Each structure stands twice: as structure tokens, then as C-alpha cells.
Structure 1
Amino acid sequence: MKLFSFTEDHKYILKIALPAIAGLSTQMVVSMVDTAMVGRLPDAKYYLAAMGIGVFATWAVVSFFSSLATGTHVVIARRYGEKNYEGCGKVLNTSLALSTMIGIVISSLVVVFADTIANFLAVDDKVAFYAGEYLHYRFLGIPFFLMTVSYRGFYFGIGKTKIFMFSGIIANFLNIIFNYIFIYGMFGIEGMGLAGAGLGSTLATVCDALFYFGVTILPSYRKSYKYFKNLRFVPEIAKSIIQISLPVSIQNVFILIGFLSFISITGLIGTLEQAASNVVFTALLISLMPCFGFGIAVQTLVGNNLGRGDTERARHYGFETSKLAALYTLIVGIVFLAAPRIVLILTTNDGNVIETAAPALRIAGFGQIFYSFGVVLANGLQAAGKTFFVMVAEVISNWLVFVPIAYLLGVVFKLGLIGAWLALPFYVILYAGIIYIKFKYGNWQTYKKV
């Protein structure tokens, strides 16, 4: 009896998923390269610990608003399934207006209070200083980042994930170049260390926004979706986007605050352990980014089929996409378990950090195998409008299981970094189980029009 057989549906899923995975993978490569660059600076453990805080703090803030991509994606996928192409253009315009206004406000606030945020999250003063510099420069680009979020949601919804792939390749290539210049110094520019990574990322984000705008003026898209003809903000569309996005926003913030809490817990164990956790999270992007790509595909496929009124087909695509994602994470998990040091040397050449991180990566490698089921089917539920349920499942699993167990095992029972990371399998297995039960037995296929 075959456990898995490759079908035409799987080919169709991959047609949508692979460009999204390629685009996300470029982000993974940039993250690993950035970590490798920073990991080769003098006093690398301080820079790596600060980078962990800076990156997670950035994600925690922008994730609340980057969920506009989910709301935009879901609404446009439904419109596209209904063959309401001009309606897709109206959604894009409204989403861009929302994201631009929000981006300006958030950027201004975080740039002003960057040092305060860093000092709150860091135990070590030196780590806090470096993290504050990173946040200051990184958040200058947030308005442009949120504009790209709206564009992504639009192209995901109409199934043109290749646009995102090209965007990722171009923007992230520029990110590596800019970061190298500003981290180490070139062309008469003095090296800025970790702050240079923040500035380089901001410049790359500006270029990314310009790329998306360039694509929208192409006749093939401009004439079909008529967004320039309907340049106005539609309150009803904004309400639909916000209703779908808000639970995802809250979920993202809780997830990332949970992981920030975890990073802080490892900081209580030691600065070396905190640096090791940062490189483990970077290595985990090898498995997580493609899972998010499958999640993008399932949102498009479920949303399009719900727009057509074919709920059974929507359910079918959810399960088939999760099978493909699980197969991938199984392969990656075996690599993490068998050769953790080979993976870790891609991010740092610090032998102490590598040896400290290797057991934690083995634990994470086992846990992430189960995560694929949860993240893909959760995206399917979000496409059906069940964003509140997904949020509750995540908050329960992360805040009430992951963080407390990590503190209990790592700090209270003094099991160190290994004890803290042992909390991860409890978290991902519980989350995947809740989502699977809802997708298989719940009433998510009865949806309201958005």
C-alpha cells in the first residue's frame, strides 16, 4: 500500500508553491548570510545575541501589520475565484493605502524608541546597544516593506507567485550587497557592524517596493485589473481586510513575543547559549521558509475554490499540500539530526557557538517535522476566514506550553539550553494536532462572503 503517490494535483500545487518557496528561500539565504557576516565580526557572541533580539523584535512589531498580506491575499483570492478582476484591483488600492499609512506611523515610533526597546529585551548592556542600533536603521524602511506586503497579497491571490520569486531574488541579492558594504565598509564607507545590516536591509526594501510598482504598470496587469482607473480607498474592502488580518496580526505578535521570551530565557542561561539559539533559529529557516511557501499556495487554492463555491476541492487541496510540506520537512529533519554541525557552520565559524547549538538543532530538527502539518492547514483555515481559531490555537500552544516549559526545564530545573529547547516538540505537536482536528472535522467550509 502506497503512503504517498504523486498526482496532477500535486503538480498544480507545486506550480504555485515552488515560486513562493524560491522567493522565501532567498530571504532564508539572506538571513543566513547576514548571520554569517555578523558572526565573523570581533566579539561575535555579543553581535549574534544582539542580532537575535533585533531580528525577533523587528518581526514582532512588523508582523502585527504584515498580516495585511493575509487579508489582502484571502480577499483577492475570493474575487479571483469569482472572476471579479476589477474587484481585485480595488482591493489592491485599498490595501496599499492602509499599509502606507500604518508604515509611516510605526516607523516613526520605533526609530525614536529603538534604544528603549533594546534595553528592555537585553540582559547585557553591550548586547542592548548593538540591538538598538540595528532597530534604528532597520525601521527606517518599514513603510516600504508594508507596501510590498500589499503587493505580495495581490499577486498571491491571483496565483502569480513568480512575481514574488523575482522580487525576492532581486531584493535579497541587493540586501547581501548592501549589508556587506555597510557591515564591513567599502568604497570609502566606514564599517558600521550590526547597524550596517539594518541599513542595508532598509535600502534593499526600498528597491523591492520600486520593483513591485514597476510590475503593476505592465499592460497585462494594468488592463486586466484596472487599479489605476479605480484609485480610491474603499471602506468596505478595508473592513474585510482588517477583519481577516487582525487575528493573524495578534497571532503573529504573540508568536514572536513568545520566541523573544524564549531568547530571553536562553539569555538567563548564558550569553553563549543565547547566541547559539540565534543560529539554531537561523538554521530552522531552511525548513520553515518552504513551509510558509506551501502555506501561500494553500491559501490561494483554498481561497480560489471557495470563491467558485467548490468547498470539497478546497478541502482536498489543503490535505494534499500538507502532505508535500510534511515530506519536505521530514527530509530536512533527518539532515538536522544526522549532521547539525555541518548546517551550523553555514552561519558561524565560532566553535563554542557551534558545539553549544548542535544538540539544540537536533531537538529542533525533530520538532519541525510536525510543524509542517500545522502551518499549512492553518493557512487553509485562514483562507476560509477562520483566523480567530488559528490565533487561539497558536497562543495556547506557544504561551501556555512552549514558553513555560522552556523556563521550567532550562532555568528552574537547570537543564540548560538543551532543557529549554526540549519545550519545542511539545509546542509544535500540540499546535499541529489542534489544527489538524479542526481542518478534518470542523465546519470551516461553511464560510461567509468577504
Structure 2
Amino acid sequence: MFKEWKKILLLAVPSIASFASSTLTGTINLILVGQLSALAIAIVGVSNIIMYNAWALFSGIGHTTNYLVAQNYGSNNMKKGVERTYIAFYLCLAAATLVLLVGLLFPESIFKMLGSSPEMIRAGKSYLQFRFFAMVFSIFTFVIHGFLRGIGDTKTPMISTIAGGAFMIFLTYGLTYGNMDLPELGLIGAGIAFFIGELVTFLICAYFYFIKLHPKYETRKRIAFNPAESKLIFGESAKLGIQEFSMAMAMFVFTAFVTRLGTNALAANEVALSVMSLGFMPAFAFGSTATILVGQEVGRGNPLLGRKAGTNTTILGCIFLLILGVIEFFLAEPIAKIYTHDVHVYKIAAELIMISAFLQLFDGLLNFYAGGLRGIGDTSFLLKISLILGWLFFVPLSYVLTFILDWGSIGAWIALYSYLTVFGISVMVRFYRTSWDSIKLKSVEKEYQDNII
């Protein structure tokens, strides 16, 4: 047992550090830009929402690469893993072209569509442009991260993320305010810094993939176009991307509901979400680890060992979240006071944090078991359950509890964690009710197309 847990932690801890670095970078970046004006904070906040939803739509390419490469690594067929990664790169080229065109032509229109003020549009359109340009590289980076994690390398994604984040922070400080003999460019400078940070992250990943790994996996070898594999990867990427986008949009609607409750409620909601992001990081990290371990065991022809690995990963992840929950529950108000001294805001935020402290275990179950289901390629179920629970359960329940029953922020968060609880239990039941004896490698051959749907 100890040996298995050690293996899980060696994969999960670098992923936790990677996700923590991304969160910390975003926080520091917002603090630095926030010194410009409240308008700058609003522009960055709105841009973050826009870019998160755009990223979610294309994230399925990286998730698909991750679980397919994990299976190919386990089956000792990395020639197929590299082939599939190249097909993912071709999809990235199409996605990146679309993102580039949107960035060049539509930032102003996007702000207008969201009802932004003329002042926000004037000040923010160039910043949003650079965020779209940066995303061109982040799409490719996520695919390379998926490949690296698929072969069990979670340290390189951590290194690249930390290095890129450091560049971003350094240049934000320099280019925004003209420090360190750099030109003072204001908010545009912050956008350029974000772009360069993503470029640096991509270049580090590209170096590892095309240079360091080539002797072992022939990652620079020319790959012929395979229509059948391309169809498989496009289909899987679409399902996982729509799943992520659906969840992101459901959360967007949830935030819109809370916004209507007033400034204090919205501020408390943002504080609570920021605190709860501490729990999201280990949840994502252990979920990613479950994908790696389950996928590799399926590739080796040992699906029952994959089931066991998924269970062990869940146990460790829950221990992490339980310890974190105890701290958050008993220190909810002191933690909320770190963010604000407004008594109305930190009181509401503390209540939301206490609600979430132990219920976040269900968010963990969602991530852990969804990661395991990705490892066996059960993407159709993840898509269906995400759409059903997000739009037929979470959004209506949020509206009823928040406005009809007039429970305000508390009602909104009860709806949020009711959704996560039902979602988490659903994927857990699916994980254990799956016929593991019949699980096989994801293949383009007809008999395996829907082997677990």
C-alpha cells in the first residue's frame, strides 16, 4: 500500500505545485494590475472569464491526448502515442487559427456583447487582444502537458508553468509601470507580459517534447495523416471540450445570479471562491493522476489494477481535502478577514467557506472519479452527465434557492454544492459499476469504438 501511495504522490504533488503556481501567478498579476485603477481590475476580471470559457472549449484536445498517451504508454506502443499527439497538434493549429482571428477582429465586439461601458471597451480591447494571442500558445502547451503527464512526467509541466509564471510576473511589474528601465505601457504592458509568459511556457514544453524526448520516442519523426485516428481524436476532444465548456458556462450563470444580489454578496462570493480554489488544486491534481494511472494500467492489459489505482488515488485525495476542510471550517472568519475588513462581506464569506469546507469532498470525488473515467475513455458518459446536471439541475436550483425562496448567497452555494454532490456521486457510481473486465485500449477499430458507452 505504501509503495502505491508513494507512486501516486510523486505524480500528484508536482501537479498540485503546477496548479498552485497558475493560481498564484493570476493572483499576483491581478494585484499588480490593480494598482492602476478599479477599471483595470474590472477589465482583467472580465477578460479572465472570457478566456476561461474559450480555453474550456478547446481543452478537450489536451485531455484526450493525456488519456490516449497514458494508454499507449502502458501498452508500450509510444509510436501510436506520438502519432496521436501529432494529430492533436493539427487540431491545435485549427483552434489556434480561430483564436487568432477572434483576437484580431472581435475584442471590441465581445466587450460590447457583455454590456461593457465605452470606457472599459477603449481601455480593455488591446489587453484582451494579447490574451487571445497568448491563448494560441496555451492550446499547444496543454497538449504537450497532456503527453508528458501521459508518460508519467508531471515535473516538466510544473517547471514550465512556474518558469512561465515568473516571466509573466516580472514583465507585468516592469511593463505596466515602467520599472527596471522597461517602457511604461499600462494595461497593454500587462497584456504583453501575459503573452510572453505563455510563450515561454510553450517554448520550454516544446524543447522537452521535440528535443529531449526525441531520442527515446522519435517525437520529430514525420507522421502521415491517419483519417481514422483523426476522427477518433476529434470526437473525443469535442466531447471533453463541450463537457468543460458546459461546466464553465453553468458557473458563469451561477455568478450572474449572485451578481444580482448586490455588491456585498458578489464580493463575498469571490472571496469564498478564492479560498475554495485551494481545494480545487489538489482535486484537479489527483484527478489528473487518476487519468494517468488508470490509463497506463488499461494499456498494460490490467484494467482491474487501474480500478484499484483509481480507488487509492481517491483515498489519498480525500485525505488532503479533509485536512484542508478542517482548517477552513474552524478558521473561516480569520481567513475571510485576510481579503477584506468589511464586516458585511467577511461575515457572508465565512458562512460560505464553512458550507464548503467539507462539502468540497464531493467536488474531489467528481474530479478523482472523472479522471479515472477519462483513463478508460468513458467520455460519452462525462459529457451527458455534465449537460444534464449542469443545465437541468444546477442552474434551475440556483435560481429557485437564490430568488424564489430568497435564500440569497447561502441558497446559491447550497445549490452549487448540491450539484457537485450529485455529480460526484454519479461519476463514483459509474466508476464502480463499469464492467472493468471488458475494458480495452481505445481503438479506431469498429468493435472498440463504443466499448464502454
Per the TM superposition, whether the score is higher than 0.5 is yes
> Do the aligned residues in 1 keep the contact of 2:295 with 2:306 (CA within 8 Å)?
yes
Q: Which residue of the partner structure matches residue 418 of structure 1? A: 410
> Do the aligned residues in 2 keep the contact of 1:54 with 1:132 (CA within 8 Å)?
no
Tell me if 1:14 matches 2:9.
Answer: yes
With normalisation by structure 2, the TM-score equals 0.88
> SS where residue 67 of structure 1 aligns?
helix
> SS where residue 160 of structure 1 aligns?
coil
Shift of residue 164, structure 1, vs aligned partner:
0.7
Q: Which residue of the partner structure matches residue 118 of structure 1? A: 111
Q: Which residue of the partner structure matches residue 242 of structure 2? A: 250
Shift of residue 279, structure 1, vs aligned partner:
3.4
Aligned residue runs from structure 1 range 4-403, under 5 A: 7-38=2-33, 42-43=37-38, 48=41, 50-121=43-114, 134-186=127-179, 187-190=181-184, 192-193=186-187, 196-219=189-212, 221-344=213-336, 354-403=346-395
Structure 1, residues 280-331: CA drift from partner, whole Å, max 9, x if none? Answer: 3232221112211111111111111111110110110111101111111112
Structure 1, residues 65-90: CA drift from partner, whole Å, max 9, x if none? Answer: 12211111111111111111232222
Structure 1, residues 116-149: CA drift from partner, whole Å, max 9, x if none? Answer: 3334345777677766555332111111111101
Shift of residue 419, structure 1, vs aligned partner:
2.5
Q: Does 81-90 or 323-332 show the bigger shift?
A: 81-90
Q: How far apart in 2 are the matches of 1:337 and 1:127?
A: 38
> Do the aligned residues in 2 keep the contact of 1:401 with 1:426 (CA within 8 Å)?
no
Q: How far apart in 1 are the matches of 2:113 and 2:341?
A: 29
Q: Does 235-244 or 183-192 show the bigger shift?
A: 183-192
Q: How far apart in 1 are the matches of 2:270 and 2:301?
A: 44
Q: How far apart in 2 are the matches of 1:364 and 1:256?
A: 19
Shift of residue 245, structure 1, vs aligned partner:
1.8
Using CA pairs under 8 Å that are at least 6 residues apart, name the structure with larger relative contact order, 1 or 2.
1
Q: Which amino acid aligns with 2:361?
A: I
Shift of residue 416, structure 1, vs aligned partner:
2.7
> SS where residue 284 of structure 2 aligns?
helix
Q: Which residue of the partner structure matches residue 3 of structure 1? A: none
Q: How far apart in 2 are the matches of 1:246 and 1:401?
A: 23
> Do the aligned residues in 2 keep the contact of 1:107 with 1:141 (CA within 8 Å)?
no
Q: Does 74-83 or 89-98 show the bigger shift?
A: 89-98
Shift of residue 41, structure 1, vs aligned partner:
5.1
Tell me if 1:443 matches 2:416.
Answer: no
Q: How far apart in 2 are the matches of 1:275 and 1:438?
A: 37
> Do the aligned residues in 1 keep the contact of 2:133 with 2:195 (CA within 8 Å)?
yes
> Do the aligned residues in 1 keep the contact of 2:268 with 2:345 (CA within 8 Å)?
yes
1:436/1:345 CA distance change after superposition, 3 Å = same
1:422/1:390 CA distance change after superposition, 3 Å = same
Q: How far apart in 2 are the matches of 1:391 and 1:290?
A: 23
Q: Which amino acid aligns with 1:209?
A: F
> Do the aligned residues in 2 keep the contact of 1:121 with 1:264 (CA within 8 Å)?
no
Shift of residue 345, structure 1, vs aligned partner:
5.7
Q: How far apart in 1 are the matches of 2:356 and 2:30?
A: 19
The equivalent position to 2:426 in structure 1, one of 431, 434, 450, is: 434
Q: Which amino acid aligns with 2:64?
A: G
Structure 1 segments (4+ residues) deviating >6 Å: 123-131, 348-352
> Do the aligned residues in 2 keep the contact of 1:119 with 1:129 (CA within 8 Å)?
no
1:170/1:137 CA distance change after superposition, 3 Å = same
Q: Which amino acid aligns with 1:384?
A: I
Shift of residue 15, structure 1, vs aligned partner:
1.5
Shift of residue 242, structure 1, vs aligned partner:
1.8
Q: Which residue of the partner structure matches residue 446 of structure 2? A: none
**Stretches of structure 2 lacking an aligned partner (at least 5 in a row):** 444-453
With normalisation by structure 1, the TM-score equals 0.89
**Stretches of structure 1 lacking an aligned partner (at least 5 in a row):** 1-5
Q: How far apart in 2 are the matches of 1:368 and 1:319?
A: 18
Q: Which amino acid aligns with 1:91?
A: R
Q: Which residue of the partner structure matches residue 451 of structure 2? A: none
1:78/1:289 CA distance change after superposition, 3 Å = same
